[in-house]
């Protein structure tokens, strides 16, 4: 799903999108070799503090999408 889509809005009505809270830039994850779209997410409860969010680019051939990483405080 794309950010802002109906599914994304439904998820963010109850959970937080870590990228919107702590990510830098577009957060594009797909396709992994030349990412142009943000299709991958981490959603957390509003009680979780998001310290940092990053797209992991170290091994782009491992999947069709790049993984996300988030540092959280619970």
Residue 48 maps to a domain? yes
Residue 52 maps to a domain? yes
Residue 1 maps to a domain? no
**CA 58 and chain centroid, separation:** 16
d(CA 31, CA 47): 32
CA triplet 22, 17, 53: central angle to 5 degrees? 30
What is the reported pTM? 0.89
Residue 38 maps to a domain? yes
The reported pLDDT for the residue numbered 48 is 97
Reading the block at residue 51, the tokens are 């310290």
Q: What is the pLDDT of residues 17-52, one digit of tens each?
A: 999 999 999 999 999 999 999 999 999 999 999 999
The reported pLDDT for the residue numbered 33 is 94
Residue 53 maps to a domain? yes
**CA 12 and chain centroid, separation:** 12
Contact by Cβ (8 Å): 68, 19: yes
- Please count the structural domains in the chain: 1
Domain, as residue range, for 26: 6-73
Residue 59 maps to a domain? yes
């Amino acid at each position: 799903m794309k950010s802002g889509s109906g599914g994304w809005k439904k998820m963010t009505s109850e959970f937080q999108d870590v990228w919107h809270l702590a990510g830098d830039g577009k957060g594009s994850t797909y396709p992994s070799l030349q990412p142009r779209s943000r299709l991958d997410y981490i959603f957390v409860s509003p009680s979780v503090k998001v310290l940092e969010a990053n797209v992991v680019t170290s091994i782009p051939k491992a999947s069709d999408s790049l993984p996300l990483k988030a540092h959280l405080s619970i």
